[in-house]
Amino acid sequence: MAILNRINRRAIENTETGFGTNSAYSGGRFFLKDGTPNMRIRGVSVFKRVSIYQSLLKLSLFKFLSVIVLLYLVVNLCFATIYYLIGLDNLGGMDSHTINGRFWEAFFFSAQTLSTVGYGHVYPSGHASNIIAAIECLLGLLMFALATGLMYGRFSQPKPYIHYSKHALLAPFKDGMALMFRMAPYKRHFLTDVEVKVTAGMKLLVDGVRKNQFYTLPLAISRANSLTLNWTIVHPINEESPLFSLTKEEILEAETELLVFVKGFDEEYSNTVVSKTSYTTKEVVFGAKFKVMYRPSDDGTHTIMDLRLLDDYEHAELPQKI
């Protein structure tokens, strides 16, 4: 029997995911683990489809600082080369008598000019070098203004700071079973009024054509006043679930993917933040349950949450086969 006919008719179909319906025109998972859509844009130039500002904001701190340092070195090397090409005689106060030494003196003069420090040991002594130095001063002011804006943007940008378990589990739940994963904050930066939505994306045969079908998964608890400890998100597989009565093989055949959307209010920034991730069937463990990842401190005065245990689980017998 077709899987579509096995899906409970009370399941709520989600038509607001933003993905197309014909699975022949889509490849791979819908979302990557970091929550970004698994798609690439073609047909326009790189400069149109890539936002330099957003790309720099999303880089890790190490990569961001590396880009800043590299750009600083490249610009100074370019200006040192320009000073060299117009003649190093246009720069006064040089001590070195070798070409290599004079070039590096021009490089450090460029660094002093770009940053507007201007120690004065080496100085421009002609119209050409003065014009270039003036242009470099202007460029330096613009570059440091941009770098300052980017640094502010990175530090002022609200983020959810949520870690997700690497796997979702099909685990025993009450008298039945449930599909679950868990998440936890990893900074002392807690969200309030947190809401979670989970959608199951399935590739099913509809009238002989494989199409993308999306179903909202009802959760045992979908809202929380605050996210302080880990939160296990539970979708009970009952009569309201689109997965009810499906076998494990049918779930795998449909290439089922869990699309996770988390929204919460950041009180420090007074702004709403959003976090996304997904789980494919390869990332679902059938017949397991999570281990407890928090405990009281030795003196009993506070709670300790160990994020190293976020993905720890143990085998558990399911009440029936799936």
Count H helices, E strands: the chain? 7, 17
- pLDDT of the residue at 309: 93
CB contact set of 273 (below 8 Å; sequence gap of 6+)? 158, 159, 160, 191, 263, 264, 265, 266
Q: Do domains 3-39+159-315 and 49-156 have the same CATH topology?
A: no
pLDDT per residue over 166-224, tens digit each? Answer: 999 999 998 889 999 999 999 887 899 999 999 999 888 777 777 888 999 999 999 99
| Percent of all residues in the chain with a pLDDT value above 70, rounded to a whole number | 92
pLDDT per residue over 99-136, tens digit each? Answer: 889 899 999 999 999 988 888 788 888 889 999 999 99
What CATH number has the domain spanning 3-39+159-315? 2.60.40.1400
- pLDDT of the residue at 224: 94
Q: What token pair was written down for 268? A: 């420090």
Q: Among 221, 241, 227, which residue's Cα sits nearest to residue 6? A: 241
Q: Which CATH number fits domain 49-156: 3.30.930.10, 3.40.50.720, 1.10.40.50, 1.10.287.70?
A: 1.10.287.70
Cβ density class 133-171: b for 16+ within 10 Å, e for less: beebeeebeebeeebeebeeeeeeebebbbbbbebbbbb
Q: Is a pLDDT exceeding 70 seen at residue 280?
A: yes
- Can you give the residue ranges of every domain in the chain? 3-39+159-315, 49-156
pTM of the model: 0.79
Q: What token pair was written down for 193? A: 């009024």
Q: Among 237, 126, 115, 239, which residue's Cα sits nearest to residue 178? A: 237
